[in-house]
Amino acid sequence: MRPRPALFALLSCLAVAALAAPSAATAVPPNEPQAVLATDTDGDSLPDTWETSGYDANGDGTIDVNLPAMGANPTKKDLFVELD
């Protein structure tokens, strides 16, 4: 069966419209305090503070994952994989 360009165009338009529409589930009430998000300069979902200082997983003040020692850089996207 050959792809149907009209169907693909319709699905693409619907996906774009769904992504552009504001969602009631993600809306924050105006009087609700908003959380400050960590800066992520390179967009790799790792906060810049983790990439420069490491990650303290349990909050005891000791760095548990030393990302800078593994080559993390806040100005380039990093990908870390753990294999068992």
17: left (phi over 0), alpha (psi -120 to 50) or beta: alpha
Q: What is the mean pLDDT of residues 49-61?
A: 93
Question: At 50, phi and psi to the nearest 5?
Answer: -65, -40
Residue among 13, 78, 3 nearest 45 (CA) = 78
Q: State the chain's mean pLDDT as an integer.
A: 77
Inter-CA distances, 14 with 23, 25, 47, 54, Å: 15, 19, 32, 41
**Sorting pLDDT into bands at 50, 70 and 90, what band is 38?**
confident
* Helix or strand holding residue 13 (H, E): helix 5-20
**Sorting pLDDT into bands at 50, 70 and 90, what band is 44?**
very high
Domain spans of the chain? 5-70
pLDDT of residue 72 exceeding 70, the answer is yes
